[in-house]
Structure 1
Amino acid sequence: MIDAFHSHIKTNLDFLNKSKLLIAISGGLDSVVLTHLCHKLKLDMSLAHCNFNLRGIESDADESFVLELADKFGLEVFVESFNTEDYANEHKMSIQMAARELRYDWFYDLAEGLGFDYILTAHHADDNLETVLINLTRGTGLNGLTGIPEINDNIVRPLLPFSRDDLENYAKANHIKWREDSSNASDKYLRNKLRHHVIPVLKEVNPELLKNFKKTLGNLNDTADIVDESLNAVAKRAIDVIDEHQIKFKISELKKVNNPKAYLYELLKDYGFTEWNDVVNLLDAQSGKQVFSETHRLIKDREHLIITECHTERSGSATEEPIIISETDKKFQTPIGSLFFDEADAVFGKRTNVIFVDRDTFKFPLSLRQWEKGDSFYPLGMKGKKKLSKYFKDEKLSLVDKENVWLLCSGDDVVWVVNSRADDRFKVTKNTKHILKIELN
């Protein structure tokens, strides 16, 4: 196997030969064999071991085993102990998910802090098959059937072409010892059920299962490339706006494609949506209709679908306390940026983030607050009073836009609908003696 591993590294992962590597090692067969193989190739590597404290003395014995192996090979080793159960309870997640999050967060911190180029994990061909079967049982799209990526940012999995049998045969032939995790014998987890009961039957039916599975993955990944190319072309035409609050998709472009549901799934799958028929129905729904996931919402707004993070819905009811600004404040940090106040000799330029006002027409302190139902103002350049809700409608602001409107006020009077329109009552005239420039950056 060492020759096959060396050939694989040289042909497909040659950059590892010139990189500083951190190997994630549990003490089990897979990671121990990976460590031996990389040591044989004289790669520049260190070890990282997580003690999740889930199996009492077994966990401590795993840690001791890894320390001894590192000492045998003269390798630097890092060990971190976690209270995994407490973390899982605190974050309301499964033990497996908690261990995964703790593990990878620590690996990333080590790599960033100590200058490791890549993190190596010991996932192999059987792991890949199990992952695809798990995704299949839970319902998935094409990406869920393309397997574990060999390279994912700075995570590299050099053993993916090799089976567990390959690793075990190599270990036994070279008298390599490893630790057995007793939890792997339990059928408590879906992965173990598939490993113990489903995959052996599949291998019995077809001894070439892993070989054929590898071919299938290659075909599916080729298809995924075609899908990505088509998806990127549609996204380029459909995405109208991307900012810190929202992404706006043109409905007209989404309706042009042959299968809007498929494209919407690919565009929005990372935002947690599950009711895909409801998502598709938004294309023809009334403006204001919404579909929610746990983290995001999708809104139909006239000619757009808008995705934004879920927040407490405002609907014109302020959720933050007003910010008070005194006369001595020349620069003031706010949730929407920095407000600058400066004297000016004249009105110049025309930008939505800047207004010029007659300093003598209002009193300090000013307040910066979110808009509320019933708010009204006198739009600059217009005669008469106008409710903000009517102004928003005339300006064709979306629900998301309206939720992010802030007002600069003097007492109960609106001086500025920030980044949109100043109030006519405070405008600079020929009789103005003191001009104040207010700018948001």
Structure 2
Amino acid sequence: MINKILEFQEKYHMIQEGDKIVAGFSGGADSVCLLLVLKLLRECLDFEFMAVHVEHGIRGEESQKDAKSAQKFCQQNEIKIEVFHVDVPAKAAAAGMGLEEMARQLRYQCFYDACERFGGNKIAVAHHSDDCAETMLFQLSRGSGIRGLTGIMPVRDNIIRPLLCVSRKEILEFLKERGQEYCTDSTNDQDVYARNRIRKYVIPQLLQINNQAVEHMQRTAKLAAEVCDFLDTAAWDAGSEGVIISYDKADTERIRELRMRKDVLARMHPVLQKNFLYQLLGRLAGSRKDIGSVHVTALFELFGQQAGKELNLPYSLKAVCEYDYVWIFNQELYRRENAPDEIVLAPPGVWDLKDGRKLEARVFDFDGDCKKIPEKRYTKWFDYDKINSNVLLRKRRTGDYFITDSSGNHKKLKAFFIQEKVPRLQRDLVWLLADGSHILWIVGYRISEAYKVTQETKRILEVYVSGGNEK
């Protein structure tokens, strides 16, 4: 099996010398196999790897036990591990999402955060050929079209899947030969999850029809991927002349907005039209993960509607029908670029942040009663006489920091965002109250200890950000 995996990873250039890989590790059979395989591959390839275990807060004591087992396994095998604890049920309820999808989102966010701290460049996950077949059937049942038949790709962006060439049966035999134990997730047997029902009932029936059904489905997935690749190229060749693209000012590789000519799209073959629109949405969003046929169809229909009609799409995208074009843009980036780069606070005053919120500031004398200090998220008091220069309200810059405690310890703003698991796309949108590079207040999060009000404070700067939040 190891030789098979080695040839597979070489074919898709998964692991190169000098790589630093973060491996998702649940403690189950598949991920235990993944870590053992990476450990063996490291003997012939010069790379580093670590494990990341995400405890989802779904299975109570069983979940905590799995986290301890994961740590024990890594300790025995001299593998570095980082454990994350997340509350999937609470996050899913707040977002109105299913547990499976929220767990996946939080899990990958943990992988990316750990990868950033580790200085990693790749993330390895333990999908195998049976998972590819399950995904094909799941996508097919949802009406995902030909792209859904591609199943799971061996490599997507910086995510690699070294075990995709082997079956679940081969993995279990590999572990049995080594007498290796592993954890079993009780939720894998619950019929409430669609993928579990496919795994327990659909695939066994297909294997009775043809015992090589999984292998055949994997070959079909490969063929479907090749067809999609061909169609992507043909669609782009046919439609790119009709696109005007504008890039983000802060990140010149990121698309802010684009306009697509109606007449160019109309001349394209029907098969290529929707493919091309799918590509445009994926490029603008930076991901195709949550863009489905329903979104592409709705966008295609917008091209035939009257000027002024609008359509909201995933990833904060919006499409607007114009006379000769359809304009598609990222609402967050557009809002950010049209907001002021910085505001000099000269209290008292009220400033419009151009994102639906306003900021109010005033200075007043303090009587020394610290019990009056507000404990609210969007109203903060600062010792005005400790501020060394003009107070700016702005977005993040290189070198930003704040003081974490009364001892004067510094923390970089970037490190804080990583610690608080603030998504990278949102970090540029967070307002900061700054005294030079020293951050007084990360709006919505915390303030610097250096400007805290004490009994010796003479004057207070009060800052309040409104917009759906109480003082």
Instruction: Give the TM-score of the pair, scaled to structure 2.
Output: 0.62
For residues 142-195 of structure 1, the C-alpha deviation after alignment (integer angstroms, 9 at most, x for no partner) is 322212121122211100011101101111122111111111111110000000
Cα offset for 1:135?
1.0
CA distance in 1, matches of 2:296, 2:40: 50
Question: Root-mean-square deviation (CA), in Å?
Answer: 3.2
Cα offset for 1:48?
1.1
Deviates more, 1:36-45 or 1:298-307: 36-45
Q: Contact 2:232/2:276 (CA < 8 Å) preserved in 1? A: no
Q: Quickly say closer, same or farther: Cα 1:335–1:145, change in 2 above 3 A.
A: same
- Identify the residue that residue 25 of structure 2 maps to in structure 1: 25
2:34 pairs with 1:34: yes
Find the partner of 2:161 among 154, 157, 163.
Answer: 157
SS in 1 for 2:321: strand
Cα offset for 1:80?
1.3
Find the partner of 1:249 among 260, 263, 270.
Answer: 260
- Identify the residue that residue 325 of structure 2 maps to in structure 1: 304
Q: Contact 1:231/1:263 (CA < 8 Å) preserved in 2? A: yes
Q: Contact 2:57/2:87 (CA < 8 Å) preserved in 1? A: yes
Cα offset for 1:229?
0.6
Q: Quickly say closer, same or farther: Cα 1:58–1:212, change in 2 above 3 A.
A: same
2:187 pairs with 1:183: yes
Q: Contact 1:272/1:293 (CA < 8 Å) preserved in 2? A: no
Cα offset for 1:298?
2.8
CA distance in 1, matches of 2:187, 2:174: 24
Cα offset for 1:73?
1.0
Cα offset for 1:241?
4.3
Find the partner of 1:289 among 305, 309, 318.
Answer: 309
SS in 1 for 2:58: coil
For residues 342-400 of structure 1, the C-alpha deviation after alignment (integer angstroms, 9 at most, x for no partner) is xxxxxxxxxxxxxxxxxxxxxxxxxxxxxxxxxxxxxxxxxxxxxxxxxxxxxxxxxxx
Deviates more, 1:142-151 or 1:61-70: 142-151
CA distance in 2, matches of 1:324, 1:159: 52
Q: Quickly say closer, same or farther: Cα 1:45–1:255, change in 2 above 3 A.
A: same
CA distance in 2, matches of 1:63, 1:276: 41
- Identify the residue that residue 423 of structure 2 maps to in structure 1: none
- Identify the residue that residue 98 of structure 2 maps to in structure 1: 94
Q: Quickly say closer, same or farther: Cα 1:228–1:86, change in 2 above 3 A.
A: same
- Identify the residue that residue 274 of structure 1 maps to in structure 2: 294
- Identify the residue that residue 137 of structure 2 maps to in structure 1: 133
- Identify the residue that residue 399 of structure 2 maps to in structure 1: none
For residues 397-436 of structure 1, the C-alpha deviation after alignment (integer angstroms, 9 at most, x for no partner) is xxxxxxxxxxxxxxxxxxxxxxxxxxxxxxxxxxxxxxxx
- Identify the residue that residue 351 of structure 1 maps to in structure 2: none
CA distance in 2, matches of 1:47, 1:281: 46
- Identify the residue that residue 258 of structure 1 maps to in structure 2: 269
- Map 1:47-66 onto structure 2 (within 5 A): 47-66=51-70
Q: Quickly say closer, same or farther: Cα 1:320–1:12, change in 2 above 3 A.
A: closer
For residues 264-302 of structure 1, the C-alpha deviation after alignment (integer angstroms, 9 at most, x for no partner) is 455447566727665444444332233444644433211
CA distance in 2, matches of 1:179, 1:150: 25
CA distance in 2, matches of 1:74, 1:228: 44
Matching residue's letter, 1:252 = D
Q: Quickly say closer, same or farther: Cα 1:252–1:164, change in 2 above 3 A.
A: same
Q: Quickly say closer, same or farther: Cα 1:283–1:114, change in 2 above 3 A.
A: closer
SS in 1 for 2:260: strand
Q: Quickly say closer, same or farther: Cα 1:104–1:300, change in 2 above 3 A.
A: same
For residues 102-158 of structure 1, the C-alpha deviation after alignment (integer angstroms, 9 at most, x for no partner) is 111111111112212221110001111111111111111332221212112221110
Matching residue's letter, 1:290 = E
CA distance in 2, matches of 1:324, 1:296: 27
Q: Contact 2:21/2:120 (CA < 8 Å) preserved in 1? A: yes
CA distance in 2, matches of 1:122, 1:273: 28
Deviates more, 1:131-140 or 1:267-276: 267-276
Q: Contact 1:273/1:293 (CA < 8 Å) preserved in 2? A: no
User: Which structure has the greater CA radius of gyration?
Assistant: 1
Q: Contact 2:339/2:354 (CA < 8 Å) preserved in 1? A: no
SS in 2 for 1:22: strand
- Identify the residue that residue 45 of structure 1 maps to in structure 2: 49
CA distance in 1, matches of 2:76, 2:34: 15
Q: Quickly say closer, same or farther: Cα 1:288–1:65, change in 2 above 3 A.
A: same
Q: Contact 1:9/1:16 (CA < 8 Å) preserved in 2? A: no
- Identify the residue that residue 109 of structure 2 maps to in structure 1: 105
CA distance in 1, matches of 2:20, 2:295: 44
Alignment: residue pair count: 325
Fraction of identical pairs, as percent:
27
Q: Quickly say closer, same or farther: Cα 1:266–1:14, change in 2 above 3 A.
A: closer
Q: Contact 2:136/2:221 (CA < 8 Å) preserved in 1? A: no
For residues 302-321 of structure 1, the C-alpha deviation after alignment (integer angstroms, 9 at most, x for no partner) is 1111223569xxxxxxx999
- Identify the residue that residue 204 of structure 2 maps to in structure 1: 200
CA distance in 2, matches of 1:47, 1:8: 22
Q: Quickly say closer, same or farther: Cα 1:163–1:307, change in 2 above 3 A.
A: same
Deviates more, 1:249-258 or 1:278-287: 278-287
Instruction: Give the TM-score of the pair, scaled to structure 1.
Output: 0.66
SS in 2 for 1:4: helix
CA distance in 1, matches of 2:64, 2:168: 25
- Map 1:206-221 onto structure 2 (within 5 A): 206-221=210-225
CA distance in 2, matches of 1:137, 1:56: 32
CA distance in 1, matches of 2:143, 2:154: 23
